[in-house]
Amino acid sequence: MDQTNHSVIVDEQVVVKWLTPPAPLPHPAPDILAHLVEAGFNDTAPPYAALTGVVDGREHLLALVTGYLPDARDGWEWCVDEAVAGTTAFAAAVGRLTADLHLALSTLPHSPTTAETEGTATGLPAPLGVGLVERAEAALSEALAVTDGEDGVWLAERAEVMRRELDALTAPVTKPVTTPLIRIHGDLHVGQILQWRDGYAVIDFDGNPTVADAGPRQPAARDVAQLTTSLEHVAQVAIKRRGTPPDQAAAWARRARAGLLAAYRDRLAARHRPDLLDERLIRPFEVEQECRELIYAARHLPRWRYAPMGVLHTWYDAQKTSADTPAATPTPNPARKPEENIA
């Protein structure tokens, strides 16, 4: 059971996920799941059927039927255990899984929009040259507006440093961002990575219900940044709920992040597609993601604020608050926040 949908396990063979409420068609999940099967990507719950019906005169997706994965646990369980134990062997497997997912999604057919075909004066595809900076800066501005108290004061003191971190989204003309836009998962965090009897599997291709202005085709770095920031959140959960020492948790997150990125990068290279990842985009997308976590906490789950604030403290407490401070080196899914499982 999760918050936004109702899942029923039938005879430990299939899972029927009823969408609550039903989602108007077109919906991304059926097409993505069908394409993943065609592309040979098997690290997900095998899709069996999609149930549709007419609601208020329009066709809707009512339910998805997928295979049951024995002994499955999501990342807010198994990954927190890894953080507490200080082990990071999982990171390589998850990095390869993510790369394989993006390799498969990069071949999903699409019809280019006018914006994608026209580009900009710098030669960048318009979705990279226009919109990403505005979206990230808007997230920072909203995070500043909705974060109150001492956290809000601390955040405001570091706002200029955070804005500098977003500069990579406006890459110089001499070395523009040319990474291809692909269909991405859109809400990729550890809660979407199941550890099950035979390994790891990624689930929930419904998109991010908390971000209305995000196109389905974006740089792969967006998914990567969501996944790496969720490792940081796992570390914060381990500190708060399992008593892990902060320095130990932060060191674990750094090792896990490095292992995941190395495996992801190596897999793309082995498949002759290193162009799918422009690493300059990871850090600004990570900063934007933490802003969105603060917005999510303010709107839906105030007690979750400790997680993104803990990450930001880890990143910025050792820095000056001046705009001249060098950049640090390297949306939320309402269905899968660990704090929502606390009575």
Cα distance between residue 84 and residue 243, in whole Å: 8
Residue 1 Cα distances to 67, 144, 169, 207, angstroms: 16, 33, 38, 18
Confidence (pLDDT) at 332:
38
Q: What is the mean pLDDT of residues 210-236?
A: 90
Confidence (pLDDT) at 131:
76
Cβ(88)–Cβ(210) below 8 Å: no
Amino acid identity for residue 51 in this structure: L
Tokens, residue 197? 């009897």
Confidence (pLDDT) at 174:
57
DSSP classification of residue 250: H
pLDDT digits (tens, 9 = 90+) for 154-185: 999 999 999 999 988 876 555 667 789 999 99
Cα distance between residue 213 and residue 154, in whole Å: 28
By mean pLDDT, which of 2-16, 190-204, 257-271, 318-332 is the weakest? 318-332
Residue 120 has pLDDT above 60, yes or no: no
Higher pLDDT, 11 or 57: 57
Higher pLDDT, 129 or 231: 231
pLDDT digits (tens, 9 = 90+) for 279-314: 999 999 999 999 999 999 999 999 999 999 999 999
User: Is residue 130 very low, low, confident or very high in pLDDT (cuts 50, 70, 90)?
Assistant: low
Which neighbouring-strand residues pair with 73? 195
Confidence (pLDDT) at 167:
85
Residue 26 has pLDDT above 50, yes or no: yes
Question: What does 20-48 look like in DSSP terms, one character per residue?
Answer: EEEEESS-HHHHHHHHHHHHT--SSPPEE
Question: What does 161-194 look like in DSSP terms, one character per residue?
Answer: HHHHHGGGGS--TTS---PPPEE--SS-SGGGEE
Cα distance between residue 44 and residue 41, in whole Å: 8
Confidence (pLDDT) at 216:
80
Cβ(43)–Cβ(202) below 8 Å: yes
Higher pLDDT, 110 or 104: 104
The proportion of the chain whose per-residue pLDDT surpasses 70, expressed as a percent, equals: 83
Q: What is the mean pLDDT of residues 215-224?
A: 92
- Nearest residue to 17 (alpha-carbon basis) of 60, 68, 65: 65
Cβ(184)–Cβ(223) below 8 Å: yes
Which neighbouring-strand residues pair with 10? 14
User: Is residue 192 very low, low, confident or very high in pLDDT (cuts 50, 70, 90)?
Assistant: very high
Cα distance between residue 211 and residue 132, in whole Å: 13
Q: How many residues does the chain have?
A: 343
Segment 69-72 long-range contacts (CB within 8 Å, at least 24 positions apart): 69/45, 69/194, 69/196, 69/197, 69/198, 69/201, 70/12, 70/196, 70/197, 71/196, 71/197, 72/194, 72/195, 72/196, 72/197, 72/201
Confidence (pLDDT) at 15:
93
Q: What is the mean pLDDT of residues 81-87?
A: 98
